[in-house]
Chain A
Amino acid sequence: MKPLDPRLLRRARAARHYVLLTATTGVLTAALVVAQALLLAHALAPVVTREADWPDVAGTVGWLAAVVVARTAVTAVQERYAHRAATRTVAELRAQVLTHAAALGPRWLAQGRTATVATLATRGLDDLEPYLVRYLPQLLLAATVTPAALAVVLGLDWIAAVTIALTVPLVPLFMALVGWLTQGYAQRRLATMQRLGDQVLDLLTGLPTLRALGREHGPAARVRALGDAHRRATMGTLRVAFLSGMVLELLTTLAVALVAVGVGFRLVYGHLDLTTALAVIVLAPEVYLPLRQVGAHFHASADGVAAAEQAFTILETPAPARGRLAAPDLRSATVRLEGVCVTAPDRDLLAPAGLDLALAPGTVTALAGPNGVGKSTAAAVLLGLLAPTAGRVRVAGLDLRELDPDSWWAQITWVPQRPVLTPGTVAELVDDGRQVHPHARDRASRLTGLDAVVARLGAGWGTTVGQGGYGLSLGERQRLALTRALLDPAPLVVLDEPTAHLDHEGETVVLRAVEHLRGQGRTVLLVAHRPTLLACADHVVEVRASALEGADAAPDGPPS
């Protein structure tokens, strides 16, 4: 494990500033530690040998008091800014991980990664705080106080300095050795922790389901078993991780003891004077203290470093290249899917297989076909969220991959099967940052039936709705998304099973909405299977899936 990963400094600005500050306080602390030891020895020794009394040492004690005050101030400044830097560093990394995870696309996230990335972005990265606030300053003190104190001891008593100098290199050596042993453990522990988190959360999310089937009691044993497995894995890590701490403490304390005994015997034979001896035994522990602290915070920092490494792994996974060309104007350009095939994850199936389709401006096209043939997948390909395994999407002759996604998405509005609820009031969610006249909003919501939903809500349009849709059912969320789509002037509208959670009355809502969109001259792609909806389309395209071996051309489905 690298004690200070250069990638952290490269990616987080807050971390760079912080390292500079910490290095400065480290140098100051080194000077003050040495001054404190020398002043204490000079104040104490002459009194012990009865060569001096209070008036002779009063001045020295005064200086000692000044040093104590200065050390207090430096400690306060370091601590004051450490927390701020840690919070900002974590925030910078979190935003980068989330942005990049989104750029990697829905398929990358869907492969069980959502919960993993969520755990990493919240708890995992928060582990960087102890690393930055505790571990890093001690690391820098080890680079300042330790050599400074050792140099002073050398000036005072070379035998003690040699004793210390012989043991100090053992400290990083043992640390490296034990750290090398711990590395795999720490990474495995993070993996175990995430698996435990995923599984326990999965059980809790499914608890209403388990209760409805009367099966909620069995999994308690599983929760306990997962917890026990976690404890055993963790204790295995800790036994080794704490070993490094123990070796450090053993080495350093024993070395201090040996120095004290050695100095004592040299005093007896008159090789040393008491002032020097006192300065040496006060300084000796200070040489080791930062190293000891590094060891003490080693385990907490290992989690943070492992999390940072995971974050860097995600950040270094190359995202699909973004095109640079501005998308053609969809009010006049035709979008074509040409022989689009997508391999279904973990299945030997192409869904869709060889899909051809043309969306001429102002037409309504429906994608039909039984469940699982890849209708929604085809929509994702068209949206540019998913790269097809074979085939391409062309817009006025240009390949979609060449187009700048933002200019493409700006012309599309999409109602997915399960729209997410971002935080905000109903009005804010429907308006979506546009200036929408309340009349237009009312008209659109009457068309989609959202007006009835809003009437039921406590504060009407001003009601705040939360994450995950609590307070709004899936059907209500679809109505909301449909209303938003009607108000969005984008020329291409993609509706993915817009009636999935609506009753037959809701279905007429969708029919009305489609007619409304057609009236505005917009292009509509509709994923549907109900006959009434298919009947309202200008073209119906049958989507097909095929087994992977026979994945040759499956022609365009005949219009039904």
Chain B
Amino acid sequence: MSRLRDLRTDPLVRAVLLLDVSWRRAAAAVLAGAGALGSAVALAAVSAWLIARASKMPPAMELSIAAVAVRTFGITRGLLRYLERLVSHDLALRGMTTLRTELYSRLAAGRTEALVGVRRGDLLTRVGGDVDRVGDAVVRGLLPAAVAAVVGAGSIVLLAAFLPAAAAWLALCLVVASVLAPWLATRAAARLEREQAQARAEIGALTLVLLDGAGELAVSGRAAAVHEALARAEADLARATDRAARPAAAATAAGPLSTGLAVLGALVLGIHATTVGTLTPVELAVVVLTPLAAFEAATLLPGAGVQLLRSRQAATRILELLDAAAGPDRHDRGPGPGDGGRARTAPRPAAAAALGAAPGPVPVPVLEARGLSCGWPGGPALLRGVDLHLEPGRSVVLVGPSGVGKTTLLLTLAGLLPPLAGQVLLDGQPLVDLPAGRRSASIAMTGEDAHVFDTTVLENLRVARGGVDETTARAALEQVGLGAWLARLPAGLGTVLGTDAAQVSGGERRRLLVARALLAPAPLLLLDEPTEHLDRQGATLLDDLVGLRAPLVRDRGLLVVTHRLAGVEAADEVLLLAPDGRISARGEHRAMLSREDSAAYRAAWQHERQEVR
């Protein structure tokens, strides 16, 4: 019973089950494979009989059935093998798509920090190579093992019909080739393969450093140091490969060795049996020559064992990511993990409603923070004792030095991170208890490092709302001051922005992100540093936003996080964060300039004014 449970928690088994492979297709693949290799064994056996019988010079008619059989097996081998390969690859590719989609869906529904905590190079490895390796477990591991078992059993039964002792010897040699050799190779390689995976991840990460920072590394002369680190990782990889090659060589050599031993054994046993008369000379030829063909399936198995091992490590990495995503953020994962449903690709009703132009009859949402402390889960609290009130028609600006945790606060208010202490309430209910659909229908957030997708300008805007038409998109870009920029683009809204928008300047990128945020259907907007990288016009844009004057922000609730004060005058409330993570002053801008208890705010304001002058 506990064995069974072990099997269920084995990462490879879990990952292979996530491939959701059809049993019918799998059975078809095994049948075709066994038929192909069985044809080869039958071909060897029947030709041996044919030749030995022929040497006794019987009438030619006596051989005709055997001759037809030999030719038939010559044809079925190739045909069935072709079928097997097609069916098994199709099976694995289907499974890999299912697994990738599953991976995406679970990460989409899971905890934010699981995704942010993974290095980009690692992510590439897991979504790419690791998923492929789980697919390979089926094609190169499980199916060949099943085929070898069927063909091996068939060969032993065939030999037992003539000479049980030779069959027993063949069984022993087959066990060496198809159980002992793969087992040894796999066991010995296990530790080394782990080292290799580490080196590979390191190589992937360093590759990205070398490419992302090519210019900087060249100028600073640090490229050589990174190349050295890469060479060290490559050397680690080579060492791990070298150590793994030894058992691999032993396992491969076990192929010709066990085949040779099987033939030698059959020869010795067969000659003895012929001498004492328990085996006819013609049967002797069959007993000796059949083993030559019986090992073809078995020689693939050491490779299959190592494949399963590699696949298991890949599966472990994938499941680590999945398990990290499936944390205590238990609410509304949609049709997510645990329910085994398959309808993950369909947009959920709540989200679908959110995609429409109007928020619908949702009551006017009110977002409140009470005594809120926030920070990364398991880390220290960055901000403490934050009280906040946001509703449509109200704008709040949060000002503070960099690194104080403003982004963390926005993530918490958007419900993407759990509060460390205190509460975030949406319409009086704790945000963490609400379904994600309800949350995103009311609140939209745009982070400082928000992603610009590798697609057109229009599609990048549609990320916020699917139905945005070209006119609306143009208007939104105009409102954030990108009208002239848009006019200069060669294909207008259809211009493809490069990977992570490297071709867009810092300020243009920032404005684009603001335009996208404004198009989001949610009535409450949380914006992180919307005017960073912008020159003096940044203050104008900020003023338009917090004054709720721009058409797309009218009647909405807006929370803006910034470290510059220019343009905040129109806000209903300004909160000044002290470097220790507490609110040191709050109130309306004008009132704060004159009030006794907001000296810090006045000082910051005067500092910026001097600068402009």
Contact = CB atoms under 8 A, between A and B. Distances in A.
Interface string B218-262: 111111011101110010011001101110111011011100110
Contact of A422 (B217, B257, B344, B348): B217
A529 interface: yes
A200 B537 CA distance: 36
A102 B93 contact: no
Interface in A69-94: 69, 71-73, 75-77, 79-84, 86-88, 91, 94
27 contacts: A61-B267, A83-B245, A122-B129, A201-B124, A207-B115, A209-B450, A211-B416, A212-B446, A213-B520, A217-B347, A220-B344, A235-B90, A238-B85, A238-B89, A251-B78, A264-B54, A267-B57, A278-B289, A346-B495, A346-B503, A347-B488, A347-B489, A370-B507, A420-B209, A466-B119, A503-B400, A529-B535
Contact of B498 (A112, A247, A413): A112
Interface string A216-256: 11111101100110110011001100110111111101111
A422 B463 contact: no
A67 B100 CA distance: 49
Contacts of B520: 213-214
Contact of B207 (A98, A221, A243, A246): A98
B96 interface: yes
Given A208-B116, A347-B489, A422 B209 contact: yes
Contacts of A432: 220, 222
Contacts of B284: 44, 47-48
Interface residues of B, number: 184
B204 A122 contact: yes
Given A220-B105, A260-B70, A261-B70, A48 B94 contact: no
Interface stretch (A304-312, A393-401, A404-412): A404-412
Contact of B445 (A121, A213, A258): A213
Interface stretch (A5-13, A144-152, A473-481): A473-481
Contact of B402 (A242, A263, A502): A502
A348 interface: yes
A270 interface: yes
Interface in A106-156: 106, 109-112, 114-115, 117-119, 121-123
A478 B29 CA distance: 57
Contacts of B184: none
Contacts of B25: none
Contacts of B47: 256-257, 260-261, 264, 281
A73 B253 CA distance: 7
Nearest to A134: B303
A417 B506 contact: yes
A363 interface: no
Given A75-B255, A281-B47, A372-B508, A231 B123 contact: no
Contacts of A223: 100-101, 104
A513 interface: no
B58 interface: yes
A370 B535 contact: yes
A344 B450 CA distance: 24
B334 interface: yes
A217 B108 contact: yes
B272 A420 contact: no
Contact of A200 (B50, B104, B229, B347): B104
Which among A111, A223, A228 has the greatest number of chain B C-beta atoms within 10 A?
A223
Interface in A282-340: 282
Interface stretch (A50-58, A180-188, A437-445, A549-557): A50-58
Contact of B100 (A44, A69, A200): A200
Contacts of B85: 238, 242, 245
Main secondary structure of the interface of B (DSSP, over half): helix
Nearest 3 pairs between A and B by C-beta?
Answer: A214-B440, A227-B97, A68-B260
Nearest to B238: A87
Interface string B329-345: 00000100000000011
Contacts of B104: 200, 203-204, 207, 219-220, 223
Given A87-B237, A347-B490, A504-B608, A231 B508 contact: no
B587 to A, nearest CB: 20
A209 B120 contact: no
A268 B57 contact: yes
A29 to B, nearest CB: 9
Nearest to B439: A214
A270 B221 CA distance: 82
B4 interface: no
B175 interface: no
Interface string B271-301: 1101100000110110011001000000000
Contacts of A265: 54, 60, 63, 67
Contacts of B264: 61, 64-65, 68
Interface string B541-572: 00000000000000000000001100000000
B74 to A, nearest CB: 3
Contacts of A278: 51, 285, 289
A214 B444 contact: yes
Contacts of A358: none
A75 B252 contact: yes
Interface in B38-68: 39-40, 43, 47-48, 50-55, 57-58, 60, 63, 66-67
Contacts of A453: 403
B55 A274 contact: yes
Given A208-B115, A210-B463, A213-B463, A253 B77 contact: yes
B351 A79 contact: no
B433 interface: no
Contacts of B220: 409, 413-414, 432
B148 to A, nearest CB: 16
Interface in A374-420: 376, 380, 383, 385, 405-406, 409-410, 412-414, 416-417, 419-420
B97 A207 contact: no
Given A372-B485, A475-B403, 15 more contacts: A53-B275, A71-B260, A114-B211, A205-B451, A209-B446, A212-B411, A212-B446, A213-B520, A260-B70, A261-B71, A264-B51, A423-B229, A467-B119, A502-B563, A531-B611
Given A54-B272, A281-B51, A383 B506 contact: no
Contact of A118 (B211, B241, B289, B607): B211
A536 B516 CA distance: 36
Given A202-B454, A264-B51, A235 B89 contact: yes
Contact of A213 (B55, B214, B401, B444): B444
B263 interface: yes
Contacts of B292: 282
Interface in B62-113: 63, 66-67, 70-71, 73-75, 77-79, 81-82, 85-86, 89-90, 93-94, 96-98, 100-101, 104-105, 107-109, 112
A243 B214 contact: no
A16 interface: no
Contacts of A468: 119-121, 205, 208
B611 A380 contact: no
Nearest to A197: B128
Interface in B444-496: 444-451, 453-454, 463-464, 466, 485, 488-490, 495
Given A68-B260, A109-B214, A254 B71 contact: yes
B506 A371 contact: yes
A249 B253 CA distance: 24
Nearest to B533: A500
Which among A88, A122, A413 has the greatest number of chain B C-beta atoms within 10 A?
A122
B612 interface: yes
A40 interface: yes
B604 interface: yes
Contact of A217 (B75, B253, B334, B612): B334
Nearest to A252: B78
B613 to A, nearest CB: 8
A497 interface: yes
A452 B86 CA distance: 61
